[in-house]
Structure 1
Amino acid sequence: MTIHTLGSENTVLSKFIAEIRDKRIHTDSMRFRRNLERIGEVTAYEISKTLDYEQRIVETPLGEASVAMISDRVVLATILRAGLPFHQGFLNYFDDAQNAFVSAYRKSTKDGKFKVKVEYISCGDLEGKVLLLVDPMLATGSSLVLAYNALCERGGQPKHTHVAAVIASEQGIDYVRKNMPAETTTLWTAAVDEELTSRAYIVPGIGDAGDLAYGEKI
């Protein structure tokens, strides 16, 4: 599995990452959502370099021009709810992509542990297509792998899968590497953090992305 850490270079992406981490900015939900969206746009642009293209002729007011157009059929999928602004960033660039959504949640047990449950799936045909599976936080990796398996069970096997996260833990990356097909999976993340808490929150991370984007849940 190929892994790209986009934040390893000094670019404008560093500013967006800094702002989503900064607790002084976390009271501004609109700014938080917009930064997730912008990180999605940057990641989408980088992924676009790896897709297949074909030359097409378009007519201009003065003649014809040969242009390279994406020939891959792209499916953009996310996990509700935290994934929505990140998803929108990708959709801004892959504006004609098919969209898929998965609802997954952590079901806590009495011993303080939890299991991830997939509750809802909206997905079309995936056979032979390029799947972009995007979720801001790749913590343990179990939610993402469950979502991937559920999507494939419903829609078939994609030609290639690009997993995209804003912040990924080393444990999450390792879990995805072991539980998704290595030859047809590429992982993209803006930053990699080392530690997970006992409740599977990434440290230093950003906190709860869903709460920061849309308000605390009860």
Structure 2
Amino acid sequence: MRLHVADHPLVTHKLSVLRNRDTPAVTFRALVEELVTLLAYEATRNVHVTPVDIQTPVAATTGVTLADPKPLVVPILRAGLGMLEGMVKLVPSAEVGFLGMVRNEETLQPTTYAERLPEDLSNRQCFVLDPMLATGGSLSAAIEFLFQRGAVDVTAICILAAPEGIAAVERLTEGRDVTLVLGAVDDHLNEHGYIVPGLGDAGDRLYGLV
């Protein structure tokens, strides 16, 4: 597993505002979108491309275009939806699938309740969006789901992570081609499985308590 933690003052600044419990939902949503675009820049560093001949106003040259099949972006419902716009702004030609996973708050184990993905992901690069990497169970299950459909490599983009979650993903995806791109690594998980200091429940802060 490859790990990249953003080290940029703009990322740290935006994260600081996100963490503030008094930041309103409308500002929170806008900052998540901006953060994801910054993180996606690093996450797509190894995106597959193919050469293409182009004609500039001065001369002919060779550039690149995204290779087929196009990347697949997979937000984990519901909180991952808040990250989608920031990702597709950077990669507008990417396709989008959806995966609904929920964590049992007593056992902390993930279950899949919905999915809208191609049956065959052969040769596809997949980018999973999930704001918080806490216990790592849901993200690991989502990554394994994509590999079982034929994905060749999976990159997960998370705004915050706990060390326990990083270790769990590394353990549970051993032997897979996985990259984690993170905005920051926090101190630990509390007894309820929440990241400390964290920013609270990302889904609730994005969309409310309904």
- Using the size of structure 2 for normalisation, the TM-score is 0.91
Q: 1:20 and 1:86 mapped to 2: Cα distance?
A: 13
Counterparts of 1:146-165 in structure 2, within 5 Å, are 146-153=141-148, 156-165=149-158
1:205 corresponds to which of 187, 193, 198 = 198
Give structure 1 stretches of 5+ with no counterpart.
Answer: none
Partner of 2:78: 81
Q: 2:123 and 2:197 mapped to 1: Cα distance?
A: 38
Instruction: Work out whether 1:52 is the aligned partner of 2:45.
Output: no
Partner of 2:35: 39
Counterparts of 1:29-178 in structure 2, within 5 Å, are 29-60=25-56, 64-71=60-67, 73-108=70-105, 112-124=106-118, 125-153=120-148, 156-178=149-171
Change beyond 3 A, Cα 1:22–1:183 = same
1:194 touches 1:203 (CA, 8 Å); kept in 2? yes
Q: 1:24 and 1:98 mapped to 2: Cα distance?
A: 35
Q: 1:144 and 1:10 mapped to 2: Cα distance?
A: 25
1:184 corresponds to which of 174, 177, 182 = 177
2:135 is matched by which residue type in structure 1?
T
Q: 2:174 and 2:117 mapped to 1: Cα distance?
A: 20
Q: Percent identity?
A: 27
Shift of 1:183: 5.1
CA root-mean-square deviation: 1.9
Q: Deviations over 1:182-218 (max 9, x none)?
A: 451111101001211122110000000001001113x
Shift of 1:60: 4.8
- Using the size of structure 1 for normalisation, the TM-score is 0.87
Shift of 1:151: 3.4
State the secondary structure of the residue aligned to 1:120: strand
Change beyond 3 A, Cα 1:211–1:151 = same
Q: 2:176 and 2:111 mapped to 1: Cα distance?
A: 27
State the secondary structure of the residue aligned to 1:205: coil
Q: Deviations over 1:36-88 (max 9, x none)?
A: 11111111111222223332123456664432223263111111111112122
Change beyond 3 A, Cα 1:42–1:56 = same
Q: 2:37 and 2:203 mapped to 1: Cα distance?
A: 19
Shift of 1:10: 3.5
1:121 touches 1:151 (CA, 8 Å); kept in 2? no
